[in-house]
Structure 1
Amino acid sequence: MGGSLDRPLRLEDEIDHFKSIPWCAKHLEAPNLVVTPGFSRDPRAQEPLFCETLRTKDTIAAFVCFYPRPESELDFLPELKAFVTLGNLVGGYPGVCHGGLVATLLDETLSFLGPRHRWLQSRDKLNHDMLKAYLHTDYLQPVKIPGTFLITARLTKKNGRKSYMQGVMEDENGQKVAKADGLFVELPKGKM
């Protein structure tokens, strides 16, 4: 893994990275699958933490989200998944990912369930933004680095402007290493 990227990986490069890992490739074979960069990883989001600072071979080498194509681009998804490959420079302890980054990755994936985050090109069609009201994270096992992980995010309840979500982060053996519960609230257009 060493050193920063000479150039940012294109989405196709990140997809190819995960397709080269057999256990990840199995997930990406589903029909009618949408594969996209995480919201903050997309340069259109203009969020430097994921787009620049954490976009190196030694930090977050690759990160994609994937889900079955919904009937409407404005639909909330009941579930989506993400792959992330973490390098050696995200450690809080030698060989273990910093807990703050684990929570950030769960937050990033959960927030992607909202339609605004999935469809950047459709901003004019949407009448709201979403903000996190809370995120509770439980650390179940050390997140060993370097490594590749699967994050599954689920919408558990929708009540008006409130979306309750759960996320689980697993290693390549299906061992749960962290989980999170969050509440995300839609704001009326122009309130952000």
Structure 2
Amino acid sequence: MPESTTGETESNCFGCAPRNPIGLHLDFERHGDVFSTRVKLGTDYESFPGVVHGGIVASILDETLAQAVYRSGRVSAFTTGLRIRYARPMETDTEHTAHAEIVKRDDISVRASGRVETGDGEIVAVADGTFYLLTDDVLGQNSERIPAELIKVLRSANGRAPQGD
């Protein structure tokens, strides 16, 4: 969940990696305190004809919230809680926009909220998420439980300004 490229290693992130052949290829922009991405998905991501699967909508929201957390504080994090409320189906082959912003931050976690909207601004789904910050101290304290290569990538990403931000 930092960005798709972190130092010398390229991620295969389902949400944001540009080269993941089945990924969402989300590309984020910052507008003040709000982080946004546009997404248009085809039939490979549907549940019913013309409708994007709800789990994919959840993935879009999780990635958007997580990117807001990372880009606002330059520290990697992982999702500890995600609450989603669906308002209407997300249609395939139609452009939507996802937005996220930080609600609360402390030394160990961040809360963020976000939404997916149609091109007309109608709400598709809203989400609230809590993210545990993977600071250098946390990575060191949990080095037995976290793969060494992941620690290396996260430490490289922490504090590094994302490109295009």
Q: Residues 186, 64 of structure 1: CA spacing in aligned structure 2 closer, same or farther, 3 A cutoff?
A: same
Matched, 1:158 2:113: no
The structure in which a higher percent of residues are strand is: 1
Q: Residues 48, 160 of structure 1: CA spacing in aligned structure 2 closer, same or farther, 3 A cutoff?
A: closer
The TM-score normalised by the length of structure 2 is 0.70
CA displacement, residues 76-122 of structure 1 (integer Å, 9 cap, x when unaligned): x732111111112100111000000000000001000133xx49xxx
Q: Which fold has the larger relative contact order, with Cα–Cα distance below 8 Å and residues 6 or more apart in sequence?
A: 2
In the alignment, which residue of structure 1 is the partner of 2:152? none
The partner residue of 2:29 within 66, 70, 74 is 66
- Note the aligned Cα RMSD (angstroms): 2.5
Matched, 1:54 2:9: no
**How far apart, CA to CA, are the structure 2 residues paired with 1:133 and 1:139?**
20
Shift, 1:64, TM fit: 1.8
**How far apart, CA to CA, are the structure 1 residues paired with 2:58 and 2:115?**
11
In the alignment, which residue of structure 2 is the partner of 1:106? 61
**How far apart, CA to CA, are the structure 1 residues paired with 2:132 and 2:49?**
37
The TM-score normalised by the length of structure 1 is 0.61
Q: Residues 45, 106 of structure 1: CA spacing in aligned structure 2 closer, same or farther, 3 A cutoff?
A: farther
**How far apart, CA to CA, are the structure 1 residues paired with 2:40 and 2:65?**
18
The partner residue of 1:144 within 75, 91, 108 is 91
Gap runs ≥5 in structure 1: 1-37, 69-76, 120-125
In the alignment, which residue of structure 2 is the partner of 1:186? 133
Calculate percent identity across the aligned residue pairs.
25
Q: Contact 2:84–2:125 at 8 Å: present in 1 too?
A: yes
Q: Residues 53, 66 of structure 1: CA spacing in aligned structure 2 closer, same or farther, 3 A cutoff?
A: same
Shift, 1:187, TM fit: 2.6
SS of the equivalent of 1:39 reads coil
Gap runs ≥5 in structure 2: 147-165
SS of the equivalent of 1:104 reads helix
Shift, 1:48, TM fit: 5.2
Q: Which amino acid aligns with 1:87?
A: G
Q: Contact 1:155–1:165 at 8 Å: present in 2 too?
A: yes
Q: Residues 48, 161 of structure 1: CA spacing in aligned structure 2 closer, same or farther, 3 A cutoff?
A: closer
Shift, 1:174, TM fit: 0.5
**How far apart, CA to CA, are the structure 2 residues paired with 1:162 and 1:49?**
23
| Displacement over 6 Å in runs of 4+ | none
Matched, 1:93 2:48: yes
Q: Which amino acid aligns with 2:101?
A: R
SS of the equivalent of 1:53 reads coil
